[in-house]
């Protein structure tokens, strides 16, 4: 979609450029000389075998002046191709190329492959943006593997955190995927793994081979028992060459077993602002609690492996996601057990409300 009358174009559309190109005051003889440059080159027919591809549109305001009057100059060129794009999505000169990027890239790829296409005079476009799509939309919806967010939520990633720096030897992805039987993980279009989802909705995966150092972007989706997919989730993190240290400092992380959390239950709806956590962690010395990467507190593990923790504060109304981990006597930290739950609204006028575990 060139301008054949270059002098006229720059003098009327870009006067500052015209003054730079043609001289102060933009003399008309210079405009005429520049206008004749391309038409005279085509008339000379120096190379009639040249592969020429010209694109324009009737919606291009420059077409009647800058393109149409010059099409006849190419009648003796053996591989002159004219694409006339009659698309309703083209509203001015700037939209012609944007609408035809796939066609242009196809031509470029064929030329690069040494196979110049012969198209001749062709028309494209004719889209119908206002047509009734209800039938095809209904068909696609009924046959799609993708379920909407409202019926099948995307998986959540809790480890690693967004843009977290992770030691190369300790990359582990974990989170929750409500309603799923597995999650599917991908990076740069390459399949990584499909770890199973446990009955409580949690999942985790650690690669057999070390990750490359640098930034990574992993995309993942949930898969239910019928094979339907959720919408995608992304997690970005940076792999660094550093010793493995638990978040918040301390000794290097170990391979201890994640604790079992019995209260609150996964996705439990808690009726009170006071939330008591309970569970078991045989062999551990302590249990720690984090939310959004912030250490909340800890509790000692009893000789029988049981533990209980009350934060001592009122939890905010809404969804929470707490990571519970164990710490051994040597300071080694285990993988975290995710505990998603929701604190429901409660009446401030009720005296001595029951705590979550039933105690006053």
By C-alpha distance, which of 106, 112, 115 is closest to 83? Answer: 106
* Percent of the residues in the chain that have a pLDDT greater than 90, as a whole number: 51
Mean pLDDT on 48-68: 94
User: Residue 48: is its pLDDT beyond 90?
Assistant: yes
**Is cis: bond before 264, omega within 30 of 0?**
yes
User: Residue 53: is its pLDDT beyond 70?
Assistant: yes
User: Residue 326: is its pLDDT beyond 50?
Assistant: yes
* Percent of the residues in the chain that have a pLDDT greater than 70, as a whole number: 91
Beta-strand runs (E) in 126-207: 156-159, 164-167, 173-176, 182-187, 190-193, 202-205
| Token representation of residue 179 | 């309603």
Mean pLDDT on 228-233: 90
The pLDDT assigned to 242 comes to 62
SS3 42: helix
Q: For 243-266, how does the pLDDT look when each residue is reduced to its tens digit (9 = 90+)?
A: 544 444 443 444 467 898 989 988
Q: Are 206 and 258 in contact (CB under 8 A)?
A: no
- Residues 292-321: b if buried by 16+ CB within 10 A, e if exposed: eeeebebbebeeeeebebbeeeebeeeebe
Mean pLDDT on 217-231: 92
By C-alpha distance, which of 223, 228, 231, 227 is closest to 203? Answer: 223
Distances (CA, A) of 243 to 15, 210, 240, 250, 254: 62, 14, 9, 12, 12
Mean pLDDT on 16-30: 93
The pLDDT assigned to 131 comes to 87
| Token representation of residue 178 | 């409500």
Q: What are phi and psi of 133, to 5 degrees?
A: -105, 10
SS3 311: coil
DSSP letter at 196?
B
By C-alpha distance, which of 168, 174, 163, 244 is closest to 211? Answer: 168
What confidence category does residue 217 fall into, taking pLDDT thresholds of 50, 70 and 90?
A: very high
Handedness of CA 128, 129, 132, 135 (dihedral sign): positive
- In whole angstroms, what is the distance from residue 326 CA to residue 309 CA? 13
Q: For 98-131, how does the pLDDT look when each residue is reduced to its tens digit (9 = 90+)?
A: 999 999 999 999 999 999 999 999 999 888 888 8
- In whole angstroms, what is the distance from residue 213 CA to residue 2 CA? 47
Residues whose CB falls within 8 Å of the CB of residue 237, separated by 6 or more in sequence, listed in order: 160, 161, 162, 163, 164, 165, 166, 171, 215, 216, 218
The pLDDT assigned to 100 comes to 93
Mean pLDDT on 159-165: 82
**What's the distance, Cα to Cα, between the start and end of the chain in Å?**
78
Mean pLDDT on 139-153: 77
Task: Please count the other Cβ atoms lying within 10 Å of the Cβ belonging to residue 271.
Answer: 13
Q: What is the mean pLDDT of the chain?
A: 86
User: Is the whole model's pTM more than 0.75, yes or no?
Assistant: no
What confidence category does residue 351 fall into, taking pLDDT thresholds of 50, 70 and 90?
A: very low
Handedness of CA 304, 205, 160, 254 (dihedral sign): positive
SS3 184: strand
191 has which bridge partners?
Answer: 186
Q: For 251-307, how does the pLDDT look when each residue is reduced to its tens digit (9 = 90+)?
A: 344 446 789 898 998 888 888 888 999 999 888 888 999 988 888 988 999 988 899
């Amino acid at each position: 979609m060139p301008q054949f009358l270059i002098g006229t174009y720059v003098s009327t559309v870009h006067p500052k450029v015209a003054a730079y190109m043609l001289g102060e005051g933009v003399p008309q003889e210079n405009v005429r000389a520049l206008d004749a440059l391309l038409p005279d080159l085509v008339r000379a027919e120096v190379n009639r075998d040249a592969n020429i591809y010209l694109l324009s549109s009737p919606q291009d305001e420059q077409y009647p002046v800058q393109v149409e009057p010059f099409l006849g100059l190419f009648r003796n060129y053996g591989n002159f191709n004219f694409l006339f794009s009659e698309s309703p999505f083209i509203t001015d000169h700037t939209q012609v190329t944007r609408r035809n990027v796939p066609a242009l890239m196809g031509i470029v790829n064929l030329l690069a492959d040494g196979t110049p296409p012969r198209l001749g005079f062709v028309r494209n476009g004719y889209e119908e943006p206002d047509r009734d799509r209800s039938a095809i939309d209904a068909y696609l919806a009924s046959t799609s593997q993708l379920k909407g967010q409202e019926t099948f939520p995307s998986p959540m990633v809790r480890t690693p955190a967004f843009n977290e720096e992770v030691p190369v030897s300790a990359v582990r992805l974990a989170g929750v995927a409500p309603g799923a039987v597995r999650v599917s993980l991908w990076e740069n279009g390459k399949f990584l793994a499909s770890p199973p989802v446990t009955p409580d909705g949690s999942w985790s995966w650690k690669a057999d081979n070390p990750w490359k150092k640098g930034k990574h972007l992993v995309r993942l989706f949930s898969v239910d028992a019928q094979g339907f997919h959720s919408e995608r989730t992304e997690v970005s993190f940076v792999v660094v060459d550093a010793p493995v240290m638990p978040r918040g400092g301390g000794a290097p992380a170990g391979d201890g077993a994640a604790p079992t959390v019995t209260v609150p239950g996964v996705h439990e709806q808690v009726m009170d602002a006071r939330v008591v956590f309970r569970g078991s962690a045989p062999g551990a010395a302590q249990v720690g609690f984090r939310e959004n990467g912030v250490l909340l507190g800890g509790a000692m593990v009893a000789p029988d492996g049981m533990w209980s923790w009350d934060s001592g504060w009122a939890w905010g109304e809404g969804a929470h996601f707490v990571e519970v981990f164990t710490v051994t006597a040597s300071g080694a930290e285990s993988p975290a057990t995710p505990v998603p739950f929701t604190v429901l609204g409660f009446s401030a006028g009720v005296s001595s409300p029951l705590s979550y575990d039933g105690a006053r």
